[in-house]
Amino acid sequence: MAVKKFVVGNFDDEAVLFPAVKKVRRAGYKIHDVFTPFPIHGLDHAMGLRDTSLHTAGFIYGITGTTTAVSFITWALTVDWQLNFGGKPFFSLPAWIPITFELTVLFAAVGMVLTFCYLCQLAPFVKKDHFNPRSTDDTFVMALECTDKTNEAEVIGFLESIGAKEVKVDYKETGWWLGRYDKDTKRFEKKAEAVH
């Protein structure tokens, strides 16, 4: 598997990170990703990420649930097996509203969570790497992807100038997930030496 080179800057304050993201993008560097311990509203826009369509997916799943419930109950009680409840109409929609509602919510919730896990590639036993374990604690980690033409020293100097506390060069495997989380993150550096 190919190994990619990154310049990784660590920030200890989101108030420094915001302008840094802006400056990095203006300077024309490609941000691979920013890893943060908690959600920072507006950072996605600052990085130029498009809005997520997860809401739309949730809506579609919900409608699917509604349709499933109404059409299935209609078929079961009016076509397949008509049950006479005191002469009431077979098609008794008001009595089906509770189940229709529940299935709408169930389909939307389950569908959205599965979609979320699929899009983010999250699942049990999936291992990923995020450059700095402290990015789930108190550090905001910005990873810039390097090409053959990248002048590492220049990028490192630039990141330091915009407030990064600790900047280093890192190598990660590529793939549908980036690298992998493992007990020893250093093993990727050994692999990287082979590429050099």
Partner 1 sequence: MALLRYESQVRPPLVDGSKDYHQVTEDICRPVEAKPSRLWWMGFLISVALLIFGIVSVTMEVMYGTGQWNLNKTIGWGWDITNFVWWVGIGHAGTLISAILLLFRQGWRTGVNRAAEAMTIFAVMCAGQFPIWHMGRVWNAFFVLPYANTRGPLWVNFNSPLLWDVFAISTYFTVSLLFWYSGLLPDLATLRDRAKEKWRKAFYGVAAFGWTGSTKHWQRHEALSLVLAGLSTPLVLSVHTIVSFDFATSVVPGWHTTIFPPYFVAGAIFSGFAMVQTLLLVTRKVLALEDYITIEHIEVMNKVIVLTGSIVGIAYLTELFMAWYSHVDYEWFAFKENRLSLSSPYGWSYWLMMGCNVLSPQIFWFRKMRRNLLVTFFMSILVNIGMWFERFVIIVTSVYRDYLPSAWSTYYTPTIWEVGFYMGTFGLFFTCYFLFSKFFPVIALAEIKHILKRSGENYKEKMDEVEEETTEEFGGKHGHDHGA
We find the least distance from the C-beta atom of residue 178 to partner 1, in angstroms, to be: 8
- What values do phi and psi take at 75, rounded to 5? -65, -45
For residue 103, state whether it binds partner 1 (rule: CB under 8 A): yes
Q: Which range in 102-110, 149-157, 161-169, 186-194 contacts partner 1 by CB under 8 A?
A: 102-110
Number of residues that bind partner 1 (CB under 8 A): 77
Is residue 60 involved in binding partner 1 (CB under 8 A)?
no
- From the list 63, 71, 91, 95, which residue makes contact with partner 1 (rule: CB under 8 A)? 95
Q: Does 173 bind partner 1 (CB under 8 A)?
A: no
Candidates 2-10, 96-104, 150-158, 167-175: pick the segment binding partner 1 (CB under 8 A). Answer: 96-104
- Strand 3-11 to 166-173 pairing: antiparallel
Distance (Å, rounded) from C-alpha 195 to C-alpha 188? 11
User: What distance in Å separates the CA atoms of residue 149 and residue 138, rounded to the nearest whole number?
Assistant: 32
Half-sphere exposure of 61 (CA within 13 A, CB side): 20
Angle, CA of 37, 42 and 47, to the nearest 5°: 85
Contact range with partner 1 by CB under 8 A, out of 100-108, 150-158, 163-171, 188-196: 100-108
**26-32: long-range pairs with CB below 8 Å, 24+:** 27/158, 29/144, 29/155, 29/158, 30/144, 30/145, 31/142, 31/143, 31/144, 31/145, 32/6, 32/143, 32/144, 32/145, 32/178
99 binds partner 1 (CB under 8 A): yes
Q: Are 135 and 31 in contact (CB under 8 A)?
A: no
122 vs 153 by CB, closer to partner 1: 122
Residues from 112 through 131 that contact partner 1 (CB under 8 A): 112-113, 116-117, 119-130
> Footprint of partner 1 on residues 28-57 (CB under 8 A)?
33-49, 51-52, 54-55
Q: With respect to partner 1, which residue has the nearer C-beta, 108 or 167?
A: 108
* Shortest separation between residue 58's beta carbon and partner 1, angstroms: 5
